[in-house]
Amino acid sequence: MNIEELLKLRSNALNHENKTGYPHLDLSHLQYYTEDAIKNYGVPDLSMYGLLYKSIIENKMQNLVAMEYFGRKITYEEFLRKTNDYASAFTEMGVKKGEVVSIASPNIPEVFYAIYALNKIGAIANLIDPRNNLDRIKQYINQVNSEKLIMLDIVYPKIMRIIEDTNLKTVYTISASDSLPLGLNYIQSAKTIVENHRKGLPNCPKNDVYMPLTKLVSEHRKEISFEPSELTTSESVRDNVAVVINTSGTTGTPKGVMLTNKNLNAVALDYRYSGMNEEVGDKFLGIMPNFLAYGVGVGLHMPLVLGLTNVIIPSFKPEDFPKLILKHKPNHFAGVPSYYQYLIENPKAQKADLSFIKTPAAGGDAMDQKLKRKTNEFLQRHNCQSKIVVGYGCSENTGLAATQIYVGESTLENELSTVGIPALNTGIRIVSLEDGRDLKYNETGEVLLTGEGVMKEYVNNPEETQKVIEIKDGIRHLHTGDVGRVDEEGRLYIVDRLKRMIVRQDGHNVFPLYIENVATSHPYVKACTCVGLKNEKVVNGHFPVAFIQLEEGHEAEVEKIIEELKTLALEKLPERDVAFDYVVVDHIPETGNGKIDYKYFEENYTYDGGLSRKRIQN
């Protein structure tokens, strides 16, 4: 679709005329974007490194701070020089164009240099969560046939046990102390040795297989001229794979998501035109790990392309979220919804002035309306001019499909329930769950995504790729596995994940999010998670059971609260959509990434005809 057609659709949306009734044809969300933004629609034919380089030179950002790491400030010029040193070293060490180099490390500057350096020479970074178990790490290395691995030194005890079962020939080691200010680096190195000794773990050796990367890079430094010719290339690079993100994906089995230069550049540029009110030099709190699509796209590439200062947090604990906000005073940050519960309950935050916050964003999991409302009220009381900005996306769409920065003239209910409008380079189509036909405004079905953020494919897995990528009207569509709807203004609402949908014993489909939102509307319910439990006497179907965490001080009122919840559910929901049982728990468990751990309840509880019981573990 050309620029003139997009501008015409924008005019139609603004004037509420010539609409077809189908969201994917009308593109009503374009009314929220300026004409200038739409005229810049699309993504340039540049690598990740190329777009960053172009942004730095054109905006004269060389002397601005690109990253802060434990007090050390790294300018954009130093970042480019380091990246070029790494690129020269990788080339000298035999890294070839198209080769996949695996990286297993949290966020530290050396990982960021390596990602852009590999991208500059046309190689691919396979990003691995080092917290994974041995089998999973081995699977992620082998599925891309990596011969080279960059790893944080403390990951050595895992790698040493699996290296013989991989094709790895060289392991480049990096340390959290490599970029620390002078003095702190020696302390950190000593702490690592002592901690390994205490745990009985071996320290990483230095030999022909395990080589310290920073030392090798120092031997291959190359001057950089900062000339536009740096970007000159005779071949197209936009569709070249830049990174591989390892995820369970939309179909539940581990796989590698291949994201291209175009995908990652689209995310960065989408934020430029999203109205997030950023200014060059603003601070961004980098707590999302690089091995997530959202982490590499929004947590790394976006802030650097936009000229922000990325405050790198390598080891993040959700309970530290308030302390980091108050210490670093970031203007922009993104986390999963549960992090905000820590913020609004933190004693030191109760008297804090949060006027420095411009974009408090949440994504990666559904944010229930009660927490959203409480967060907005907290931010307003503490002088923040923005409400919580909820986003929506998935790894296969580079982590960003919609954002709530724009919601237009909206009711409170809409603000609490919508995930916003599609990103500039993203299209949304809603199709029937039964027969795949296109649906109109406010009709609920599966959410399909199109546009520049849609992944290339899964690594060496055409069968799984075909399950989620469908060609409709000549355009690649991504099946998200999410159920949602789009209203007449172009706003997207997510009802639930298809894989979270509970099929009852009578075949009726129940979406847990409806039950959760009703439960958390009760003043004494702090949080709720609804899952489908099996009954050992019933062959087919599952029973919706709501697990609730009460607000402090109401533990003695359990029976009364549960009865009130049952009444409330029948008032708000159809009879077949209510929970069969309510179970009070001390807390709602979370995964390592801060998302709700639904599997914990599914694996540890059964429904026994009116009562949910914890399984007896042998």
The Cβ-side half-sphere exposure at 128, using a 13 Å CA radius, reads 30
| Percentage of the residues of the chain whose pLDDT score is greater than 90 | 68
Q: Is the pLDDT of residue 194 over 60?
A: no
Q: How confident is the model at residue 110 (pLDDT cuts 50, 70, 90)?
A: very high
- Nearest Cα neighbor of 149 from 165, 167, 133 is 167
Question: Of residues 596 and 185, which shows the higher confidence score?
Answer: 596
Question: What distance in Å separates the CA atoms of residue 535 and residue 37, rounded to the nearest whole number?
Answer: 54
Domains located in the chain, CATH noted: 3-41+248-496 (3.40.50.12780), 49-238 (3.40.50.12780), 501-614 (3.30.300.30)
Structure-derived torsion over alpha carbons of residues 316, 320, 322, 327, reported in degrees to the nearest 10: -80
HEC letters along 63-96: CCEEEEECCEEEEHHHHHHHHHHHHHHHHHCCCC
The angle subtended at Cα 569 by Cα 566 and Cα 573, nearest 5°, is 150
Residue 226: its pLDDT value, please? 60
C-beta neighbour count of 236 within 10 angstroms? 11
- Nearest Cα neighbor of 176 from 328, 314, 318, 310 is 314
Q: How confident is the model at residue 479 (pLDDT cuts 50, 70, 90)?
A: very high
Residues whose CB is less than 8 angstroms from the CB of residue 58 and which lie 6 or more positions away in sequence, other chains included: none
Residue 181: its pLDDT value, please? 77
In this predicted model, what pLDDT tens digit does every residue of 394-441 receive, in sequence order?
999 999 999 987 655 555 666 778 899 999 999 999 999 989 999 999
Q: How confident is the model at residue 459 (pLDDT cuts 50, 70, 90)?
A: very high
Q: Is the pLDDT of residue 585 over 70?
A: yes
Mean pLDDT computed over 185-208: 61
Phi, psi of 358 (to 5 degrees): -105, -40
Residue 493: its pLDDT value, please? 93
Question: What distance in Å separates the CA atoms of residue 118 and residue 125, rounded to the nearest whole number?
Answer: 7
- Whole-prediction pTM: 0.84
In this predicted model, what pLDDT tens digit does every residue of 542-569 receive, in sequence order?
999 999 999 999 988 999 999 999 999 9
In this predicted model, what pLDDT tens digit does every residue of 284-298 receive, in sequence order?
999 999 999 999 999
Question: What distance in Å separates the CA atoms of residue 442 and residue 493, rounded to the nearest whole number?
Answer: 9
Structure-derived torsion over alpha carbons of residues 572, 576, 580, 585, reported in degrees to the nearest 10: -40
- Nearest Cα neighbor of 131 from 606, 612, 591, 604 is 591
Q: Is the pLDDT of residue 249 over 60?
A: no
Helix (H) or strand (E) segment spanning residue 150:
strand 148-152
- Record the tokens describing residue 91, joined without a space: 């080339």
Question: Of residues 257 and 593, which shows the higher confidence score?
Answer: 257
In this predicted model, what pLDDT tens digit does every residue of 126-173 receive, in sequence order?
999 999 889 999 999 999 999 999 999 999 999 999 999 999 999 999
Query: Residue with structure tokens 């959760």?
Result: 516
Residues whose CB is less than 8 angstroms from the CB of residue 487 and which lie 6 or more positions away in sequence, other chains included: 414, 418, 441, 442, 493
Residues whose CB is less than 8 angstroms from the CB of residue 209 and which lie 6 or more positions away in sequence, other chains included: 163, 169, 170, 171
Question: What distance in Å separates the CA atoms of residue 180 and residue 73, rounded to the nearest whole number?
Answer: 10
Q: Is the pLDDT of residue 618 over 60?
A: no
| Distance spanning both ends of the chain, measured CA to CA | 60
Q: Is the pLDDT of residue 368 over 50?
A: yes
Report which listed range, 189-198, 226-235, 395-404, is most confident.
Answer: 395-404
Please report the beta strands in 517-580, taking only residues with DSSP state E, as ranges in sequence order: 525-533, 543-550
